Chains A and B, each alone.
Chain A
């Protein structure tokens, strides 16, 4: 039953991706060259709705958080390596298979490369565990915990900040 729910969720997600036009190579390179912010706008409004909804669910006790641990060095270096690949590829791990659904067959090679990257990481994991993961490991922490503030309050503030940024982007005609 659970895999079927996953499949249906993925189908809905892929449908949204295609209609919002974020499966395009040009949209991703447009973001990274700061000329087309479609992908950023998509992420910003996703986080506005997501942060209000998730923190509401958690506050009401309807569903718990599932925080990813903070390892400052590994988080940042991994993010940078990701960014270098993103600039060459023009898709991300979800939109590469999504692009194939639209007919962009180069996405197949991205998925193949991704599978090899995953296997390579699995075999180099012990090295990173002994090196980068030892720097700045703070565990599963969130800003409400760090700042000792109610999550819902911080979610509202954060969503407001993102909305202000969105209005700024639109006002500047970006």
Chain B
């Protein structure tokens, strides 16, 4: 937690990364790649499901629409924990933990309960993101940066769902 960057610096660098990503991928590969992460979950889920039941993937309209397999987007999401690991090791902030402190204050330190909570939360964010068409990076960062109408509607939805439930669960205190 010590000597971290300002969130404004981190955000500005992410904006720059988005612009460079779009420029470089369009110039090199002929199509612009905008930062976004939730599609990667579909492509990997499809890959896993294909191994278990090839038919259910072959006949599925959504997998056909989004594609299945390892591509730029999946590699992007795989790169994120690597970059975080490098940063955390360099700054001596790497620390293994199962339960976030604030979760433990509210629900106790059971790793099993936290694992269930994380699973359910993870399920809902991806399910919701796919229904909405994207996540905070795809709709928030990339969408709003393009002044896309959809981005603003989705981001409003994130807070309409998230703020009341978080206040209900964790209360309003620092």
Q: Residues of A with Cβ closer than 8 Å to B?
A: 1-26, 29, 32-36, 38-39, 41-51, 53-55, 57, 62-72, 74-107, 109-123, 125-126, 128-129, 132, 138, 140-144, 146, 151, 154-155, 158, 166
Contacts and interface: CB of A to CB of B under 8 A. Distances in A.
Interface of B: 1, 4-19, 21-29, 31-35, 37-38, 40-42, 44-46, 48-49, 56, 60-63, 66, 70-88, 91, 93-103, 111, 114-151, 153-163, 165-167, 169-174
B95 A103 contact: yes
A25 B139 CA distance: 21
B27 to A, nearest CB: 7
Contacts of B78: 7, 10, 97
A110 to B, nearest CB: 4
Given A14-B84, A82-B162, A102-B84, 6 more contacts: A17-B84, A26-B102, A65-B146, A76-B160, A82-B124, A92-B125
Contact of A83 (B33, B71, B120, B128): B128
Nearest to B4: A21
Nearest to A4: B75
Contacts, number: 544
A20 B5 CA distance: 5
B174 A35 contact: yes
A36 to B, nearest CB: 8
A15 B86 contact: yes
A146 B133 CA distance: 20
B158 A86 contact: yes
